[in-house]
Amino acid sequence: MVTRVTISGHPGSGTSTLVSGLCQSLNWKQINGGQVFRDMAEEQGLTLEEFGKKCKEDDSVDQALDKLLIETMLSPDSPEIVESRLSGWWAYMNNLQCPRIWIDVSEQVRAERVVEREGGTIDEQLRLIRERMNSDASRYMQFYDLDINSHIPYTHVIDSDVKNAEEVLRDVLKHLEGYN
C-alpha cells in the first residue's frame, strides 16, 4: 500500500470529518498527524497550547513527528490516507504522485467548530487559533522554509465555509475519481 491521498487544513477545518467519510466510503486506512500530536501532548500531561509552546522551544518534537509522517508516507505499508497540515507538502517535496487536498475555512468557522467539539467560547477559541497559527507558521518557516498558507503543493483546494461535510466528501471523491 502507498499513500493515495493527503488531507490538510488548519485545525477546525474539517479534515478529520472528511477522512472519516473517506475511510467509510473507500474502506481505506489513515494516519492522523494531529491525533499523533495530541497523543504526544497527553502522554506528557500537557494541553495542546502548552505542547505547542514546548515544540517551539524544542524543535526535536516537531521534527520527530514530521519524520514519522514522511517515513509512513514513503513506506510500502503506508495507509491510503495521511492527514496532517504538512502531509501535502511532504508528498509534494517527496514527489509522491497522489492527490493532495487542502480544506480552506475561515477563522470564525474554525472557532465555531472547535467550540462545538471541545467547548469554550468563540472569542477564546479565536485567540487560541490565532496564537497557534502564528506559532506554527513561524516554526514551519524556520524549520522547513514553508508558508503553511500557500496552496502550491495542493492538487485541490476546497472552501468548506460554503460546503457542509457531505458536500466536501462528494467533492473529494469526485476529485479522486478524476485523478486516477
pLDDT tens-digit map of 129-159: 898 888 889 888 988 999 999 999 999 999 9
pTM score of the predicted model: 0.87
pLDDT digits (tens, 9 = 90+) for 10-68: 888 889 999 999 999 999 999 998 788 888 889 989 988 788 788 778 878 878 888 88
Extract long-range pairs of 173-179: CB within 8 Å, 24+ residues apart: 173/22, 173/25, 175/99, 175/101, 176/4, 176/5, 176/99, 179/98, 179/99, 179/155
Distance CA 138, CA 123 (A): 23
**Structural element, H or E, at residue 56:** helix 48-57
Closest to 10 (Cα-Cα) out of 113, 144, 81, 95: 113
Domain boundaries, the chain: 5-105+151-161
**For the stretch 155-170, what's the b/e string if a residue is b when 16 or more beta carbons lie within 10 angstroms of its beta carbon?**
bbebebeebeeeebbe
Residue 27 DSSP label: -
CATH 3.40.50.300 given to domain 5-105+151-161: yes
Distance CA 2, CA 119 (A): 36
